[in-house]
Amino acid sequence: MESRANLNMLMEHVLHTAGEHGLWLPHDTIIVAVSGGPDSVALLHVLHQISKRYTPLRLICAHVHHGLRAESDREEELVRGLALELGLPFEVARMDIPSYMKESGKGFEEAARDKRYAFLHETAQRYGAASIALAHHADDQAETVLLHLLRGSGLGGIKGMKIKRNEKNVELIRPFLRIYKTDLMSFCKQNGYAYAIDSSNLSNQYRRNAIRLDVLPFLGQYNGQIRQSLVQLADIAGMEDEYMEQAADHAYHDLVQHKDGRLYFQVPSYLALHVALQRRLIKLILNYLSAGIEITDFHKIELIRQGITQNKSTTWSLDIGGGLACIREYDMILFMQKPPEQSKSYTYELQTAVPELCIPEIGKRLNMKVQTPHERYFFNMTGACAEAVFDAGQLIFPLTLRSRLPGDTMKVMGLNGSKKVKDIFIDAKIPPSVRSRIPVLVDGSGNVIWIPGVRRSTHAAVGTQTTDVLHMCLEDTETVEQL
């Protein structure tokens, strides 16, 4: 009677967890990872009973033979026999972990995990499975949290393992994550379920084993409920991390804009965010540009954040690594796959005014039109927008539209003497990445007479004696085509 009560309590707990987190639907195919230890043996039995009594499920028993211990063969036979007893399909993979360790340069734990999960995913794909069930329990969660704490992890690590997580279009589910190992061992013993003991779990040469065998017992001297405390910490951190992810997502949609494969935002709106959200937003942007490869390097994220929040320099470029760059241009922060390339040099000579001139190097088009004077031309003399007017009779031809050259100067209207074009860009706060796409217009005497969208010179100004006006407008090629 006691064993049945134990089984019912365990099933009730798993069913509650499954309902709370949506772990499966009726008739789902589930790959159950069974090592042969008490945890996975209990998982297979509980899921089998749930499938018989409550929710029909198609269970596939999957086992990995690591081939490193003498008892590996016996473990495989134990699991094979269990699958046969329950009438379940059995899948097994024999792994050459040492060879993979040499090939990848990874340690045993990481190498074994890689190969194990690769096999489970391959099996899930073959069977069209909705999920892979793993037997991680509350003690595993406590070890994971402590391990991440010692590595200096943030909330993302402290929350430990998730009960349900999507990986490669398959759900990884952990129905036992809130159940402690002693309960699972008790369940197996009371029901007479045979299981294997992995002798390698008794060696503290592996980091996780050292946490379980040495660190947790030591901390237990100061807190007898250390495992429960760590599991509780994981639950709290998990909920708060989820909340912060949602807040960061809202901030992303409110602040971040996309253009030409770049992501950018304005500094003032970013500074209004809490520091925690500032970090989250940078992390979210980097992860987006990294095609889903999670970037968790705190120092890298903080370096970018501090560069944004300090006021010493308003233009800088930072190589983030992985082909990514972050650039500050005054009050704008840009993230991109690679630094912007400089435009190619170009020169277009015009012997006379032409209706339009295409400049494919910068994706622009110059429209030119000779008109009679209009009073609006007397008030639009600066060329601050990408159009300008000149007294056609005073212009010295040929005109040359070209890329900017080092040392270019211009006689600016309203200013005595000449000024370097570079300084004009700086004063106008033109972002460095944009400057290479702005041409200069030079007259037949070699004078820079117009920087489209920035300034115009004192040359050939429209006045009361003007009889013909040359009106010029520089537009994006795409904009013109759309019109």
Q: Annotated binding site for ATP, which residues?
A: 35-40
Q: Which helix (H) or strand (E) holds 244?
A: helix 226-255
∠ CA 445-451-455, rounded to 5°: 110
Q: What DSSP state is assigned to residue 37?
A: S
Q: How far is CA 406 from CA 282, 294, 329, 422, 452, in A?
A: 35, 42, 20, 8, 18
- CB neighbours (10 Å) of residue 248? 21
How far is it, in rounded angstroms, from Cα 87 to Cα 81?
A: 10
Distance of CA 233 to the CA centre of its chain: 25
Alpha helical stretches, state H, 374-419: none
Q: How far is CA 155 from CA 234, 237, 338, in A?
A: 9, 6, 30
Of 82, 38, 50, 45, the closest CA to residue 180 belongs to: 38
Q: Which helix (H) or strand (E) holds 240?
A: helix 226-255
Unique residue bearing structure tokens 């500094």: 267
Of 455, 436, 342, the closest CA to residue 388 belongs to: 455
Segments of 126-181 assigned E as strands:
131-133, 164-167, 170-173
User: Do residues 384 and 453 lie in contact, with contact meaning Cβ atoms separated by under 8 Å?
Assistant: yes
How far is it, in rounded angstroms, from Cα 461 to Cα 393?
A: 10
188: three-class secondary structure by DSSP: helix
Q: Which two structure tokens, joined as six digits, stand for 253?
A: 């949609």
User: Do residues 310 and 270 lie in contact, with contact meaning Cβ atoms separated by under 8 Å?
Assistant: no
Residues within the annotated binding site? 35-40
Distance of CA 392 to the CA centre of its chain: 54
Of 362, 457, 477, 380, the closest CA to residue 411 belongs to: 457
- Count Cβ neighbours within 10 Å for each residue of 402-430 and write b for 16 or more, e otherwise: bbbeeebbbbbeeeeeeeebeebbeeeeb
